[in-house]
Amino acid sequence: MTASNLNLLLSPAQIANLPLKNHMVMAPLTRSRAGQGDVPTSTVVEYYRQRASAGLIITEGSQVSAQGKGYMRTPGIFTNEQIAGWKHVTDAVHAEGGRIFLQLWHVGRLSHSLVQIDNQLPVAPSAIKADGEIYTPEGLKPYESPRALSLHEIPGVIADFRQGAENAKRAGFDGVEIHGANGYLIDQFLRDGTNTRTDSYGGSAENRARFLKEVVESVIEVFGASRVGVRLSPIFNYFSMSDSDPQATFNYAAKMLSRYGLAYIHVVEVGAGSFDFRELKRRFAGTYIANGGYDAERAETSLREGNADLVSFGTAFLANPDLVERFEQGVALNDADPTTFYQGEERGYTDYPTMAQIR
């Protein structure tokens, strides 16, 4: 599809009171390039600066506490050094005229005692082990059975999200996205395959959505609802994630989130099983960002048909720092190198060529 046929995708957009250069969002992408102390480095700064032509950048997930960490070298947002590192990122993106939200993250059970303080077990809504393995300081290890959070501990985790938002504000972010997707802690609370609690955070869809609700309420006290988004993934099925009725669960979550006047919901539209994403969009009275293998043509079609308000691109932005310009000019895209997704320092990170460098 030529640029002349991408009228909506490439046209200016707006999220609440925040103007965007186009309808293209850079999706959050874990890259494992943080430095000592999980601090964003100068290379991280350059990576985001290169991609500032996106209408909105949503950063890789950033753990809101030491407990929230799962993977090696992922950046945090809970120490002064991490805040300072992210401030260099936001300054660079803003200098290029870009907009950037930080993704607030707690991995829950998708961690390992080898990356936790004092080798404590990871936490989750229920003590249910995830399938799969995780890289640790001692190499690849199976996921462990997590420890179920006690009722009195939950307010402390919610407070960590609020503090993460406070820290993101100090770092100069335009807003934050709450990571409620991809099998991490909030998603673990939402789905009945990982949440078998019998207290006020388990059982009904309303109870299972309570943790998300309280996190949202704590974060919007910091940024205001119009600068807070939520990411959801109704049929994401990695890490043995499941729900007995995902349509009902996530329809409820979307309707509940609709009450707050949030900036957006950001929905991963891939996974196992059938799901009516248009119905989900109808339940949420606000901006709907679609994600999941979109190319330029499909994105434009989805915008035209009213099935999305913005579209996010992951791997395409990873491999093409000038993705917007390539769409504008109808130029072929760089191929991504999966071997460098989570390793390689500058290689496969800041060295993907722009159109100008190829010519």
314-343: b (≥16 Cβ within 10 Å) or e = bebbbbbbbbbebbbeeeebbebeeebbbe
Token reading at 222:
């910091």
CA-wise closest residue to 332 among 315, 320, 350:
320
The answer to whether 342 is a known catalytic residue is no
Residue for token pair 């309570």: 210
Largest CA distance in the chain: 62
3-class DSSP state of 38: helix
- Are the C-beta atoms of 79 and 135 separated by less than 8 Å? no
Catalytic residue among 47, 143, 184, 264: 184
DSSP states of 57-87: EEEEEEESSSTT--STT--BSSSHHHHHHHH
- Are the C-beta atoms of 31 and 349 separated by less than 8 Å? yes
CA-wise closest residue to 194 among 254, 257, 256, 145:
145
85-123: b (≥16 Cβ within 10 Å) or e = bbbbbbebbbeeebbbbbbbbbbbbbbbbebbeeeebbb
Instruction: Quote the DSSP letter at residue 287.
Output: E
Token reading at 92:
């660079």
| CA 33/CA 36 separation, integer angstroms | 10
State in Å, rounded, how far the first CA of the chain is from the last one. Answer: 22
Active-site amino acid positions: 184
